[in-house]
Structure 1
Amino acid sequence: MSEGRHVLVTGAASGIGAAVVASFAADGWTVTGVDLREAPLRASLEGLAATPIVADLAEPDAPERVVRRAWESGGPLDALVNAAGIYPARPFLDLDAALWDRVQAVNVRAPMLAVRAYAALAVAAGRPGSVVNISSGAALRARPGAAHYSTSKAALEMLTRAAAVELGGAGIRVNAVSPGFVTVDSTANPVTEEYAAAVSVNPLGRRGRPEDIAAAVRWLVSPAAEWVTGTILRVDGGASAGTTALPAHWPGLTDVQTPGLDHEGAHL
């Protein structure tokens, strides 16, 4: 158990963020949960040792304001989990500056500002800490309608590495978890079943659960990972290793490919 320890989780109203909140709370942590949607946030935190903060993290001053409020009202933070993110579908030729900017603001700028604010408080207090950012397989593989999202997650992974390099000397570890397709039934970021089926094929043969990602987050924050920083942990059923969705490209060998034959097919 981890009584007396305090974590701030953004995107806490549903999906991965809600599972992360439940995992920390079950282990005795005090949790501050942040989300834009008040009713779902309160429902997610009901019955847990958790305090809700409603905020739009796309507002430039919101991430620092939220971190400071959590620190002052719930006690010094031991960990920060940036799980908030948006995934609007928009074809590249229809993508405009306003939507691009909002995706980058929520998915990249907000985590950067939150980590900066948290690290400043932790350094001033002489406390070590841990940050976990939630990335995506989209950081490695582009997909139709997601140029803004894929770019934001690729940037978040580099932000994770950069912050790890600069904050390691202060005892602050910064890592990321990159989920494969996780079934979250999100009303904030809905996807069609056709899309889910296309992106959820993986060697382990099942879709991810929010609890799979929460377990990885908890490990990265735990003492067991005290020498781990700047890492992007792929929790995707093996999807980033390769695909099982393709057949063998050819059923047999050609003469040129056959061992023990010369170029005319005669045995050497």
Structure 2
Amino acid sequence: MRHVLVTGAAGGIGAAIAEEFAVAGAVLTFADRDPDALDRLVARFDDTPCRALGLTADLSDTEAPAELVRRAWAAQGPVDVLVNAAGVYPSLDMADVDATAWDRLFAVNLRAPVLATAAFARLAVEHGRGGAVVNISSGSALRARPGGGPYASSKAALETATRAAALELGAHGIRVNAVSPGFVPVDSACNPVSEEYAAAIGANPLGRAGTPEDVARAVRWIAGEDAAWITGEILRVDGGSSAGALHLPRIWPPDPADGAHRPSTTAVPATAQATKGHPA
């Protein structure tokens, strides 16, 4: 039975990840800065065979990530899987960035997962164990948006840190990967999403927004034995939105008869592609 530590576990994606590992019968340790939300999450598993523990932690604190890993290890035994799902994503224009806002964002989105991974690796090596780390990135790492530059920067840096850790820790049997979700509607007091924004960002070849469960299944898979020869990978779970520009018009070759551009009779228009499948 694997021991899984999930940070940011009380959030929408974090909670779905917790539920996904619970189905697999894992020993679960949850971390979040919101003690009430954490208590509600742990209570979900009161009548199940799962052994669940909630630990309150403010991962913006310098010492908190390493201390969290040590507490989880001491309380429930060696950690086999570390999922760094905690993150903040405020809207902030690059022209309005100040040192406080930048440092706070990077403390949670980059420094915390790096320090937690380092603490996990030290304990695993000390005890002669391998393990798996999964960082939660974002499609913003590939494509910034107005008001999202600092957030996008933190996720791009996290993906590079993921690859670097994979290179260095593989010799110890520790795999380090990231899962990068596309648009997944979740409740956020920090940065609520408008219908206009959701419509603009949610288009993808599969025609629907993602769900926390879509992300959670990918996390459990890449942390498991079926992915045992995968490390340093950034797994895009985004309905294909990172594959290309879905809504750009096609450039058709001219018809030799009159020089006019003729659309193919077999191609599916971009607007139809965007609306196929389940509604967002």
Contact 1:201–1:243, Cα closer than 8 Å, also in 2: no
Q: CA offsets per residue over residues 6-41 of structure 1, 9 Å max, x none?
A: 010001002111000011111110111111111112
2:187 to 185, 197, 201: 185
Contact 2:205–2:240, Cα closer than 8 Å, also in 1: yes
Q: In 1, distance between residues paired with 2:192 and 2:18?
A: 21
- In the alignment, residue 37 of structure 1 is paired with which amino acid? D
Aligned residue in 1 for 2:163: 161
1:18 to 7, 15, 19: 15
Q: TM-score, normalised by structure 2?
A: 0.87
3-state SS of paired residue (1:196): helix
Q: CA offsets per residue over residues 41-78 of structure 1, 9 Å max, x none?
A: 22123222321111110000000010000000011000
Contact 2:90–2:190, Cα closer than 8 Å, also in 1: no
Q: In 2, distance between residues paired with 1:188 and 1:103?
A: 12
CA drift at 1:203: 0.4
Q: In 2, distance between residues paired with 1:196 and 1:166?
A: 38
Aligned residue in 1 for 2:254: 253
Higher mean C-alpha displacement, 185-194 vs 8-17: 185-194
Contact 1:203–1:243, Cα closer than 8 Å, also in 2: no
Q: In 1, distance between residues paired with 2:99 and 2:200?
A: 28
Q: In 1, distance between residues paired with 2:231 and 2:191?
A: 29
Indicate whether 1:46 and 2:48 are aligned. Answer: no
Contact 2:91–2:191, Cα closer than 8 Å, also in 1: no
2:131 to 129, 132, 155: 129
Contact 1:174–1:229, Cα closer than 8 Å, also in 2: yes
Aligned residue in 2 for 1:263: none
CA drift at 1:96: 1.1
Alignment gaps of 5+ in structure 2 = 46-50, 260-280
State, as a whole percentage, how many aligned pairs show the same letter.
58
Contact 1:11–1:82, Cα closer than 8 Å, also in 2: yes
3-state SS of paired residue (1:176): strand
3-state SS of paired residue (2:125): helix
Q: In 2, distance between residues paired with 1:155 and 1:22?
A: 28
1:34 to 31, 42, 51: 31
3-state SS of paired residue (1:67): helix
Aligned residue in 1 for 2:265: none
Q: In 2, distance between residues paired with 1:14 and 1:51?
A: 16
Indicate whether 1:152 and 2:154 are aligned. Answer: yes
Taking structure 1 as reference, are residues 91 and 16 closer, same or farther at Cα in structure 2, changes over 3 Å only? same
1:236 to 227, 235, 238: 238
Q: CA offsets per residue over residues 172-196 of structure 1, 9 Å max, x none?
A: 0000000000121233442222212
CA drift at 1:246: 3.0
3-state SS of paired residue (1:25): helix
Q: In 2, distance between residues paired with 1:41 and 1:186?
A: 16
Q: CA offsets per residue over residues 209-256 of structure 1, 9 Å max, x none?
A: 0000000001111110000000000000000001323333x565287x
Q: In 2, distance between residues paired with 1:150 and 1:254?
A: 43
Q: In 2, distance between residues paired with 1:112 and 1:252?
A: 50
CA drift at 1:147: 1.2
Contact 1:9–1:34, Cα closer than 8 Å, also in 2: yes
Alignment gaps of 5+ in structure 1 = 259-268
Q: TM-score, normalised by structure 1?
A: 0.91
